[in-house]
């Protein structure tokens, strides 16, 4: 199984930061500020839950110091983005770019199982975030559990993850 010590610092950062970029991208797809809070909390909980994974790379992602380092790097990146470009489109593009970098690192160093487990982990986070709050509801009535924007983004992540399976 792939471990952190077999990766360069840049490869590790891509693998570690991608789940956090995905959380931001999915939660920015729509909804209220309260929805964003629920979704980001669900995403962070999904990252923390990786501490129970059988895969050492996923367990390392869930270490509190790694979570804080990922959040600090993403915050620093976000604060450098001009205000006019702080859009859901920019967040999605960054998450997809980060996923591509992570997949490239896994293709270079990991086994099929490493790629499969990481892909399932990231897709699971995206799905969990998307399902954490309804979009377009009024006080809990109506709305859609997973919006079209969220479905499309998760599908793009799945396509990137599947690239690593070929």
Q: What percent of the chain has pLDDT over 90?
A: 77
- End-to-end C-alpha distance for the chain, whole angstroms: 18
Confidence of residue 148 (pLDDT cuts 50, 70, 90): confident
Q: Is the pTM of this model over 0.95?
A: no
Residues 6+ positions from 65 with CB-CB distance below 8 Å: none
**What average pLDDT does this structure show over 89-109?**
97
User: What phi, psi does 144 have (nearest 5°)?
Assistant: -125, 130
CB-based burial of residue 8 (10 Å sphere; 0-12 exposed, 13-18 middle, 19+ buried)?
exposed
**What average pLDDT does this structure show over 149-158?**
92
């Amino acid at each position: 199984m792939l471990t952190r010590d077999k990766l360069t610092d840049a490869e590790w950062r891509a693998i570690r930061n991608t789940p956090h970029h995905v959380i931001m991208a999915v939660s920015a797809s729509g909804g209220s500020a309260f929805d964003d809070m629920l979704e980001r909390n669900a995403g962070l909980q999904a990252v923390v839950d990786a501490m129970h994974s059988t895969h050492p790379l996923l367990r390392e992602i869930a270490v509190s110091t790694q979570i804080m380092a990922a959040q600090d790097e993403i915050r620093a990146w976000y604060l450098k983005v001009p205000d006019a470009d702080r859009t859901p489109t920019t967040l999605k593009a960054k998450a997809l770019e980060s996923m591509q970098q992570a997949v490239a690192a896994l293709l270079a160093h990991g086994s099929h199982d490493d790629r499969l487990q990481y892909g399932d982990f990231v897709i699971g986070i995206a799905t969990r975030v998307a399902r954490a709050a309804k979009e377009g509801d009024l006080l809990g009535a109506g709305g859609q559990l997973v919006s079209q924007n969220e479905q499309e983004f998760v599908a793009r992540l799945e396509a990137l993850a599947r690239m690593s399976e070929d």
